[in-house]
């Protein structure tokens, strides 16, 4: 869409940081915020636009039943219909990305099904309350602090075990496992990235592999 590349480039080059990992995180964060505001200004509320387009098309169709449309009315009807088809395609694309479903083809997209999947994912990924030492926590800050303390106490804590695994018996023969400590090569990392589904986001930034390739 017009202005998309400019919005990404402006947000991407607005961050300067010495640490490369922190720089990448801030660049993705700034790009996400910039694209959100750009979408609100350039695209707007797609559902409202679709509803207005349907109403206008319905009025033109009713008028066409009783008389011939003028040249300007016929041109306007075609333009509205063309814009309506584009908005409908954009809505299906956004719903498919939110649903994170890669098993269905683009032409098989069902808008209502994907919207239900989006709602399910939103409810599934949301933690409304958490119980900590008998206290029910509902505030986001309290839930985050309780989760941090819980996993912070687990990391590095040695738990005594009364059983163990006999790897020699399970494996049956000796294997050279020295390669397990070897660092990953660039080719191995690239092959792992290429095997990721194209419409899946590899991290919490929300950007898909298709965006990274673009």
pLDDT range class, residue 140, cuts 50, 70, 90:
confident
Least confident of 18-22, 103-107, 205-209: 103-107
At residue 183, what are phi and psi to the nearest 5 degrees?
A: -70, 155
pLDDT range class, residue 114, cuts 50, 70, 90:
low
Least confident of 6-10, 38-42, 108-112, 207-211: 108-112
DSSP one-letter code for 156 = T
Give 29-74 pLDDT, tens digit per residue.
Answer: 899 888 888 888 877 788 888 888 888 888 888 888 888 888 888 8
Tell me: pLDDT of 109 over 60: no
Give 171-187 pLDDT, tens digit per residue.
Answer: 666 667 677 777 888 88
- The more confidently predicted of residues 196 and 81 is 81
User: Quick one: how far is CA 84 from the chain centroid?
Assistant: 24
Tell me: pLDDT of 204 over 70: no
What whole-number distance in Å separates Cα of residue 40 and Cα of residue 7? 13
| Average pLDDT across the chain, whole number | 78
Q: What angle do CA 171, 177, 180 make, to 5 degrees?
A: 125
Report pTM.
0.39
Q: How far apart are the first and last CA of the chain?
A: 13
Answer yes or no: are the C-beta atoms of 114 and 92 closer than 8 Å: yes
209 to each of 11, 35, 72, 122, 192, how far by Cα in Å?
A: 19, 17, 44, 21, 12
Tell me: pLDDT of 110 over 60: no
Task: State what percent of residues in the chain have pLDDT above 90.
Answer: 0
- The more confidently predicted of residues 78 and 213 is 78
Give residue limits of the domains in the chain. 1-44
Rounded mean pLDDT, 131-159: 83
């Amino acid at each position: 869409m017009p202005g998309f590349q400019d919005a990404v480039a402006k947000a991407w080059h607005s961050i300067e940081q010495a640490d490369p990992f922190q720089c990448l995180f801030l660049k993705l964060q700034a790009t996400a915020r910039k694209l959100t505001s750009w979408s609100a200004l350039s695209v707007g509320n797609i559902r409202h636009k679709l509803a207005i387009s349907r109403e206008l098309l319905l009025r033109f169709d009713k008028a066409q039943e009783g008389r011939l449309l003028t040249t300007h009315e016929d041109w306007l009807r075609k333009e509205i219909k063309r814009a309506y088809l584009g908005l409908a395609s954009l809505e299906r694309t956004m719903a498919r990305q939110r649903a994170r479903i890669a098993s269905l083809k683009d032409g098989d997209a069902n808008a209502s099904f994907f919207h239900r999947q989006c709602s399910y994912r939103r409810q599934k990924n949301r933690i409304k309350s958490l119980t900590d030492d008998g206290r029910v926590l509902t505030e986001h800050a309290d839930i985050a602090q309780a989760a941090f303390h819980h996993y912070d106490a687990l990391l590095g804590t040695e738990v005594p075990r009364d059983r163990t695994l006999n790897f020699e018996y399970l494996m049956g023969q000796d294997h050279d496992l020295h390669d397990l400590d070897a660092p990953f090569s660039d080719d191995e990392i690239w092959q792992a990235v290429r095997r990721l589904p194209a419409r899946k986001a590899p991290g919490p930034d929300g950007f898909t592999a298709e965006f990274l390739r673009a």
